Structure 1
Amino acid sequence: MGITTTVAGRKGKEFRELSRETTATTNSKSKKNRRRQRKMMLPIQRLFDTCREVFAGSGTNVVPSPQEIENLKTVLDGIRPEHLELSPEMPCFRVNQAEGSPMITYLHLYESEKFSMGIFCLPPSGVIPLHNHPGMTVFSKILFGTMHIKSYDWVVGAPNSNSVVNPPQAEPHGPRLAKLKVDSNFTAPCATSILYPADGGNMHRFTAVTACAVLDVLGPPYSDPEGRHCTYYDDHPFSRISVEGVSIPEEEREGYAWLEERERPEGISVVGAPYRGPMFVEN
């Protein structure tokens, strides 16, 4: 009985060790398979899955954590035009009219109450007018082409023009003081730009220097019922409007402007078109 117990114990130990080795091997294979699957995953699928994680708690003025911001930025930085089957030779990137601003095409990818994804296709000289993103975090990735971006953030605590000396025209709220954030050309490949509810250039204008494609991710998307209405602006030089209590040194004035609300600009045409590239699966 003692010998039997010893043999049984020895065999039990061998089985336990074999089980651990098998489990370790299985876990190792599983990890390799997961890594292989991640490598094989379509970029658009990786983008969708990452957006769903990053914007799980999305809401007005809710900004994802720095790590979540970095995760999504990394995914977007890795996306190339061929991943979405886009090229400058496509008809939507050609100038399609003799007068006025060229027509812009929007390829809808996805929208929920948490986030939206889409691609703006701009022919040369195409313009997306100066507009805001209230309470939103926005990622913009230029896939190809050269884009001029001009953006502003509100100057916190600055009085509006209720006491303007020479406003360009009377408005209920009056022009508001904003600080210039960006006024530059960006050529792909370049890093993804990110704007926040109160920073990063929340009000921006896009002007296509060449044919451009821009992948946009908004979290959360526009929603009139929830107070996230898209507002358009005209920007006026700081020196054009005088407001009591607002003084900026002359050498710094080019870095500021007065933004005045306006109706959606006439002549700006954005049309929807079906996206025909690889698509994600909503698991």
Structure 2
Amino acid sequence: MNEKQMARMSSGKGLIAALDQSGGSTPKALKAYGIDESSYDTDEAMFTLVHEMRSRIIESPAFTSEHILGAILFEGTMEREIDGLPTVDYLWEKKGILSFLKIDKGLAEEVDGVQLLKPIPDLADLLEKANDHHIFGTKERSLIKLANREGIKAVVTQQFELAKQVSAAGLVPIIEPEVAIDSPEKEEAEAMLKAELVAHLAELEPHVKVMLKLSIPTVDNFYAELAEDPHVVRVVALSGGYSQEEANEWLSRNHQLIASFSRALSEGLRFQQSPEEFNQMLEASVLAIYQASIA
């Protein structure tokens, strides 16, 4: 990370592409792309196919720094190459796009209406590896299903403890306490979440910088206060299961959020498409999400 990269992420216009599907979500991502599970019989073959999909997205002329600030990567993507360069170096040197590494190991079982992060036993080694690969920041996802005050407090406390370790390693953590969009208590959970986030941000050392990745709130511009906090580089929005059209509609009403979409970004992309069809579909998606991000 350097001053140029920090300035780019804090004030640049654009979206963040979430390309970080890991072992549990990769089969779904491949199926949506038009590759059935019968097409591979080992994890290595599966990850090779998904890397080819991600490479096709990243190498597309539609995937440029004009509209995209960063990309969130799975560890296996970080360790592979695109066009003879390590993925992170290709993104920055050829595209001007920053890279984030998904470091969480998935979700623990639900307790108190939330799912905390599973332990990350190799965290120090993983952060060292991230630095060796020129990663800008990390991403770690928890899930909030109900407006349970104790559960939400536990989620935010765990996220900030991890964020401090990431920051100490010289990286910018994306704190992601997702509120399920189908929660029957979504608005109440968001109110509890914001209160916890404000309190924990106030306790950070002045030099610590974080990003927040949040579900698009029920009340428009509900997270504007967080975006103004001096510790917060950027507040980004996840699509959370919304279609691209729905996610863009919600996002466009929240003027200090930018997109960090996964399924909504890759919606409509298929393995069987010609290069022209693929690039046109990706360009249309990128432009629509970009417009919602800068609204």
Q: TM-score range by the shorter chain?
A: under 0.3
Larger helix fraction of residues: 2
Structure with bigger gyration radius: 1
Larger strand fraction of residues: 1
**More relative contact order in 1 or in 2 (CA 8 Å, sep 6+)?**
1
